[in-house]
Amino acid sequence: MSSTGSEGGVVWLDRALGVAAAILLFCLMAITTVDVIGRYIFNWPLRGAFEITELLLLTLIFAGLPLVSRADEHVTLDFIDALLGDRCRRILRRLVDVVCGLIILGLAWRVFVKAGKISGYGDTTDVLFISVGPFVYFMALMVLVTAIVHIVKAFLPPPDKPKVFDPDQVSPT
Amino acid sequence: MTEALVGLGLMMVLALLRIPIAISMGVIGFLGGACLRKRKIAPAMAMVETKVYDTGRNYTLSVVPLFILMGNFVTRAGMSQELFRAAYAFVGHLRGGLAMATICACAGFGAICGSSIATAATMAKVAYPSMKELGYSDRLSTGSIAAGGTLGILIPPSTLMVIYGVMTETNIGKLFAAGILPGILATFLLCVAVQWTVFKDPASGPPGAKSSWGERLRAIEGVWGVALLFILVMGGIYGGVFTATEGAGIGAFGALCFALLRRALTWRKFLDALVESGRTTAMLFAILTGALMFAEFVNYTTMPDDLKWLITTLNLSPIMVIVAICAIYVLLGTAMEELSMILLTVPVFFPLVVHLGFDPIWFGILIVVVVEIGLISPPVGMNLFVLNALLPHVPTKTLFRGVLPFVVADVIRLGILVAFPAISLWLPSMMR
């Protein structure tokens, strides 16, 4: 398979964010477990587990967001596909990606503003005094990346075959 | 009322144009919020910022990725084989016994996995070949797997209950406890549906070999892992030893230990489970954030009050309203993807239900049951799609017809749960 520069970049981003999400989620599990075991068995709870969990979750969600957009896993209603021909369907896909990209771009702007505000206050967590600002900047950055993913997708050639339903993928329902 | 209806309509238009539901709801929530505040953009933008940030930085919500992770480890650990064998040892010798064993095994799997699709997919791999071998009709075997799979979201843990609990600020531990008795009722009624099928057509489900008590005991031993995990997580949450979030963390860790003990995990599978859970989490949070923005808009309109007023003036009895809501859900569920259906409608229905004096926990169970029905009711039912993808040689028509007795059993169950709220509410009422 030949991969152009942008596709190579997408693959690289996919891997990097995937590994990041995996590590974050593993830490989330480990911290909760260590906290519970520490508290009940050794009577020694993990200090600040609460706020580490919060920040890990925040980072996890936003690191995962570009992955979801890239894999086309957002919940959509696809009734319209049945009404459209192949060509129209592809054009609609691209249009939707552009629209989504622009909307998310707007969101990224607002989250950057929010990050600026939070950094400005010098907001820290209560127990461990972790500075929150950088985390919100990370959020904003990831929202921006998600917007770019959508816009890039709109201009990339469509995938060879439509995505088949993958039953191994554990869906929320 | 008008603003809310226009908003709902526009949101549906966007969603039907294939814009992801999360974005459709978020955009309408934002625009609607701006319109209602005399077209001032600033407060609406502030609302968006706050919702995005607060949903992300929320300790309670870490329960979501942890339960998803637990489900992902459990499916990879391959505990379904033992569950099926154990259930078979007890009911396999009856007519339609394998189908009933499938349903019981699904119930057991549902006790450690919060996803109905994962349950159906896992069981299809184990149960279908056995039923095929014994000469079961495709209608009965696929129907029982699809229907049994839905027990995954009713028997705790349940991802759907977590989502409902988060949206409506209902206690997740109590929701879990509320799912246990309806889950047992569901298992029973689905087995009745199996019996009805083999009563009509005895050739569709011939009996298997009878197991001796020694074999039964040995088969039971095989499922100690599942039992331990369930008792640890649910017992811990029910007994108030830990919160739902902590239970989820322990559950994910326990599932990981089991997968490791059984040498079912390669590095690749381990990483896949984590990444997939991460993606599912992000997807859920996107849609949850959108739904919360939309709910903010709906609650700011006069719609919730207008609906209450409408019900008072029309002199509708509260229970009629519940029946109507359930009927709407069952109808919508045949054609709509269930998660979006719930996220779209709960902001509208929930305030009404609480206003009428009903218990949010009970309503949560009803929501889960209507989603279960939606998952197996043709033409659009995710569990049917799963089986279609896993067993491509079974014609869709067979699938659709096979599942019908089970849909009927589910609708009967919905009726029972509406009529007797105590079935859902008794266990949670005993908590602390």
pLDDT tens string B155-166: 999 999 999 998
Q: Give me the pLDDT at residue B348, please.
A: 85
Q: B116-125, B178-187, B338-347: which has the highest mean pLDDT?
A: B178-187
In what helix (H) or strand (E) does residue B392 lie, and over which residues does it extend?
none
Give the Cα separation of B192 and B180 in Å (integer): 19
**Residue ranges of chain A with pLDDT lower than 50?**
1-3, 168, 170
| Cis before B379? omega within 30 | yes
Cross-strand pairs, A131: A124
Within B134-212, where are the H helices? 138-149, 151-154, 159-168, 172-200
Instruction: Please report how the helices A133-155 and A5-41 are oriented relative to each other, as an axis angle in degrees rounded to 10.
Output: 140
**ipTM, 2 dp:** 0.90
> Backbone dihedral region of B113: left (phi > 0), alpha (psi from -120 to 50 degrees) or beta?
beta
**Mean of per-residue pLDDT scores for chain B:** 91
Q: Give me the pLDDT at residue B338, please.
A: 85
Q: Give me the pLDDT at residue B193, please.
A: 97
Q: Give me the pLDDT at residue B2, please.
A: 84
Among B271, B274, B371, the strongest candidate for a mutation testing the A interface, having the largest count of A CBs within 10 A, is B274
Work out the burial of residue A3: count CB atoms within 10 Å of its CB; fewer than 13 is exposed, 13-18 middle, 19 or more buried.
exposed
pLDDT tens string B362-385: 999 999 999 999 999 988 888 998
B100 touches chain A (CB under 8 A): no
- Scanning A76-105 for CB atoms below 8 A from B yields 76-81, 92-93, 96, 99-100, 103-104
Q: Would the CB atoms of B242 and A36 count as touching at under 8 Å?
A: yes
Cross-strand pairs, B412: none
Instruction: Out of A27-31, A94-98, B56-60, B399-403, pick the least confident.
Output: B56-60
Nearest chain B residue to A14 by CA distance is: B275
Give the Cα separation of B205 and B189 in Å (integer): 17
A139 touches chain B (CB under 8 A): yes
* Distances A38 to A117, B66, B256, B286 between C-alpha atoms, Å: 36, 19, 19, 33
Query: How far off is chain A from B312, nearest CA to CA, in Å?
Result: 35
pTM, to two decimals: 0.90
Give the Cα separation of B424 and B408 in Å (integer): 20
pLDDT tens string B195-217: 999 999 999 999 988 999 999 99
Among B151, B277, B292, the strongest candidate for a mutation testing the A interface, having the largest count of A CBs within 10 A, is B277
Give the Cα separation of A131 and A21 in Å (integer): 21
Give the Cα separation of B383 and B121 in Å (integer): 8
Q: Would the CB atoms of A74 and B18 count as touching at under 8 Å?
A: no
Nearest chain B residue to A26 by CA distance is: B274
Please enumerate in sequence order all residues whose Cβ is within 8 A of that of A73, keeping only pairs 6 or more positions apart, or say none.
B279, B280, B283
Q: Give me the pLDDT at residue B147, please.
A: 96
Q: Give me the pLDDT at residue A1, please.
A: 37
Q: Give me the pLDDT at residue B160, please.
A: 93
Q: Give me the pLDDT at residue B319, please.
A: 92
Contact B286, A74 (CB under 8 A): yes
Q: Give me the pLDDT at residue A173, please.
A: 60
Q: Give me the pLDDT at residue A126, please.
A: 86
Q: Would the CB atoms of A57 and B62 count as touching at under 8 Å?
A: yes
pLDDT tens string B7-33: 989 998 998 898 998 999 999 999 998
